Amino acid sequence: MNSNNKEPYRRTFPISWEQLQRDARALSWRLMELGPWQGIIAITRGGLVPAAIIARELDIRIVDTVCIASYAGRQQGRIQILKPATGDGEGWLLVDDLVDTGKTARLVREMVPKAHFATIYAKPAGRPLVDTFMTEVSQDTWILFPWDSEIQFAQPIAGRTKQEKQP
């Protein structure tokens, strides 16, 4: 990665709603064998959709949240706890969409140290902090979730400038 570049992401990995559901269901298969679970704690906002899918697949009816703000656009900023988790997490499944740098994961792990932490996607810096994940992606990849994107016209590659053509 170019140290002069403030943007830490060189690649974009777009995820469709269908892909997210497939990946969340596949993660559910892994988690099924590790339960039973008392409930799910979703890390908001990114963990809400995966937690809903996993709750359905594992027939879990109790879903709580820990509310944390850590991103402003594509930049990770100061982490703000908006609603903490309660208890130590014993018997609970902690769900997020992604573990990136591990900053949020460390904070939540301190709140509920006995919870089983599962994410759909994991990057190398944060991967050691989760117990179960589905797919690993490189640290310099921005995962473009379906709730953060919209369908629009894309310029053909041949019509792009040299800078736009780079991944």
CB-based burial of residue 100 (10 Å sphere; 0-12 exposed, 13-18 middle, 19+ buried)? buried
| Angstrom distance (rounded) from CA 53 to CA 10 | 30
User: How many CB atoms within 10 Å of residue 39?
Assistant: 14
Distance from C-alpha of 51 to C-alpha of 140, rounded to nearest angstrom:
25
Q: Are strands 63-72 and 75-83 parallel, antiparallel or unpaired?
A: antiparallel
Catalytic residues: 96-97, 100
Of 89, 91, 19, whose CA–CA distance to 53 is shortest?
Answer: 19
